Amino acid sequence: MNTKETFIIEGLAGEKKLSGEVRINGAKNAALKAMTAAVLFDGQTTLENMPDTDDIHTMVEILKKLGATVEWGSAGEAGRERKALLIDASKIGSAHINAELAKTMRASVVLTGPMLARFHKVTFPAPGGCVIGARPIDLFTEGYKKMGAAVSLNDADCLYNMAAPGHLKGTEIFFEKISVGATETLMMAAVLADGKTTLKNCAMEPEIGNVAEWLNSCGAHIAGIGTPILEIEGTGGRLLSPQKPFVTIPDRIEAGSFLILGALCAKDLVIKDCRPDHLESVISALKDSGVPISVAMGAHGDGKNGEIRITGNTKPNSSFKAFNVRTQEYPGFPTDLQAPMVAYLTQATGESSVLETIFEGRFKYVGDLSNMGADIDSINPREILVKGPTPLRRSSDDKGLSAHDIRAGFAVVLAALTGKGRFKISNIHLIDRGYEKLEERLKALGADIERKNSASS
């Protein structure tokens, strides 16, 4: 990770000059969870179609620091090999998840479930230090308590100590809030527990099902996959057997990001190796707005190796109609595409209300878009009003642009590509957390984008 690197982008000034094909990588949000699930196995697991992004490398380091063996390999058909990870958790000798690494990536909290289930104890840094309420993990800790674990927060080092002498016990948990992380973590914890666990009001994101189906193919008993109620019959401590590799599903957020980018910047674009059925809310909104999109579900009609195509996208972006966005749990509109979609809406004609219902503080990038000429009003901390179309250009005070998080980072890349002039984007290490070699893939489509060390740009 190099925090000094920047992207330099020459904007297309609204012209749709990009074209070509882009292949979608494995879903970061499934791959990270499968890496934590490797802790539940007796012996070495193989995880295929792994994205090579910084968050995956952070999880590799966290697992290694606990004592696990982690090696990179490759798997897949000849000529279409994808990265694989081989993980063996049998030598884990520490219960302390590295606090410095864990603080850089919230998803590391998911590891507490498998650790508690197999090794019966784990420590984890309180998100946001000891400040209660900041980025809460209450759904996790309350769930563990219901399963018989003791959870305490040590004020001296701000670490949660979690311990479950003996096995975790099956129980019934109703999540008061729908949470992707809590659903998959309690599900994994329940896999090795004594007795049956019923989880209610679960998240239904496809990444959870991807991991659950793999666990079932290796000896777990999870019923209700893809529904709000999961029933898990615990193995009573018997570890899973690594009979089958985990194959990561295509990253729907990466596919959606390229789709929005294609709508604004490409005449023709083929998004390959994706699951169009995982992106229906986004495809439907863009189609209704006027983007010429077609989908093919893949050879077996099951969505695997599907394609999304933009064809003959020659009308000006101002011909696209504005629409309202309300982020929701799956299958609703994904919060991770809220920022890229706002970049799109600045170019469409009309007014759009954008309501963020999942996370607070997800509009930090709006200042950058406004500096570029976007007309965006903040209604309240969770809602903005976008009025389009507005040409985007380099700001007169030339402050430059910044990636505020993975997805907001993509949104400013998209705004710069659409805009007029030469743009510099800093903090791109945050984009690297979720998008593999973004500049190389955009260059292959015809974009003028360079990665530079800020000292030399």
State yes or no: residue 29 binds ligand UD1 (CB under 6 A).
Answer: yes
State yes or no: residue 282 binds ligand UD1 (CB under 6 A).
Answer: no
How far is residue 363's CA from residue 359's CA, in Å, rounded to a whole number?
A: 10
State yes or no: residue 414 binds ligand UD1 (CB under 6 A).
Answer: no
Q: Which residues contact 64 (CB under 8 A, 6 or more apart)?
A: 70
SS3 290: coil
State yes or no: residue 31 binds ligand UD1 (CB under 6 A).
Answer: no
Contacts of ligand UD1 in 169-188 (CB under 6 A): 177, 179-182
State yes or no: residue 6 binds ligand UD1 (CB under 6 A).
Answer: no
Tell me, by CB under 6 A, how many residues bind ligand UD1: 19
- Segment near ligand UD1 (CB under 6 A); pick from 1-9, 67-75, 135-143, 438-446: 135-143
Please pick, among 130, 158, 202, 218, the residue that the annotation labels catalytic. Answer: 130
Return the residue matching tokens 């090794």: 119
State yes or no: residue 426 binds ligand UD1 (CB under 6 A).
Answer: no
For 236-252, b/e burial (b = at least 16 CB within 10 A) is eeebbebeebbbbbbbb
State yes or no: residue 442 binds ligand UD1 (CB under 6 A).
Answer: no
How far is residue 278's CA from residue 113's CA, in Å, rounded to a whole number?
A: 26
Tell which one of 335, 346, 371, 402 touches ligand UD1 (CB under 6 A).
335
Give the residue with the Cβ less far from ligand UD1, 6 or 427: 427
SS3 238: coil
Give yes or no: 274 in active site. Answer: no
**Sheet-wide strand order for 121-125:** 121-125, 159-163, 150-154
Helix (H) / strand (E) containing 7: strand 5-10
Contact call for residues 39 and 114 (beta carbons, < 8 A): yes
3-state secondary structure 78-137: CCCCEEEEEEECCCCCCCECCHHHHHHCHHHHHHHHHHHHHHCEEEEECCCCCCCCCCCC
Tell which one of 163, 280, 324, 359 touches ligand UD1 (CB under 6 A).
359
x-or-dash pattern for ligand UD1, window 79-108, by CB under 6 A? ---------------------------xx-
Ranked by CB distance to ligand UD1, the top (closest) residue is 181
Residues that bind ligand UD1 (CB under 6 A): 29, 32, 106-107, 136-140, 177, 179-182, 203, 335-336, 358-359
Residues designated catalytic: 130
